[in-house]
Amino acid sequence: MAEAFKFELVSPERLLVSAEVESVVIPGAEGEMTVMAHHAPVMTTIKPGVVTVKNSSGSEERYVVFGGFADIVPAGCTLLAESAVAVKDVDRADLARRIQEAKEDAADAKDDQSRSKAEQFLSQLTTLEGAILPA
């Protein structure tokens, strides 16, 4: 059995998770990554996606996060999410609204750089929607 480490999931409104866990899958900006104990110190931004937390007891919990960043040190991992909810509590309407907003942003973008950024964000959101909502 893998060693446990401290994981904290914090949103601006509250502290969602603070527990000893076995591993955490983080949707990093440059690809998903699994964090386990004694991970090398990494700081990464995260994209909208699903965070999977595997508790020491073996049970799994999944949270949806919309952007933020993760601070990983050997002793633990802190995830500062812009907004985070447990997968089972995801509000479809809210997600749809975010996608709509992202679409508008993409349409309004003035230059190529901001357009590609907005489109990237939009595609991340739609992927996320596909991943958590049963078709």
Partner 1 sequence: MPSLKDLRNRIASVKATQKITKAMQMVAAAKLRRAQEAAEAARPYSERMGSVLANITQAVGGGGDAPALMTGTGKDDVHLLVVCTAERGLCGGFNSQIARHARDHIRRLLADGKQVKIICVGKKGFDILRRDYASMIIERVDLREVKTLGFVNADAIARKVIHLFNEGAFDVCTLFYSQFRSVISQIPTAQQIIPAAASSAQPESADGASAVYEYEPEPGEILSDLIPRNIAVQIFRALLENAAGEMGAKMSAMDNATRNAGEMINKLSITYNRQRQAQITKELIEIISGAEAL
Q: Which residues lie near partner 1 (CB under 8 A)?
A: 8, 10-15, 28-30, 40-45, 68-69, 71, 73-75, 78, 80, 82-83
**CA–CA gap between residue 123 and residue 59 (Å, rounded):** 30
In the complex, the smallest distance separating the C-beta of residue 11 from partner 1, rounded to whole angstroms, is 7
In the complex, the smallest distance separating the C-beta of residue 3 from partner 1, rounded to whole angstroms, is 17
Nearer to partner 1, 111 or 134 (CB): 111
Nearer to partner 1, 89 or 135 (CB): 89
In the complex, the smallest distance separating the C-beta of residue 97 from partner 1, rounded to whole angstroms, is 11
Q: With contact defined as beta carbons under 8 Å apart, do 7 and 34 qualify?
A: no
Q: Could you tell me if residue 100 is left (phi over 0), alpha (psi between -120 and 50 degrees) or otherwise beta? A: alpha
Closest CA to 76 of 134, 14, 20, 15: 20
Nearer to partner 1, 13 or 89 (CB): 13
**Could you tell me the end-to-end alpha-carbon distance of the chain, in angstroms, rounded to an integer?**
35
Nearer to partner 1, 1 or 40 (CB): 40
Q: Quick one: 15 exposed, middle or buried, by C-beta within 10 A (0-12, 13-18, 19+)?
A: exposed
In the complex, the smallest distance separating the C-beta of residue 58 from partner 1, rounded to whole angstroms, is 27
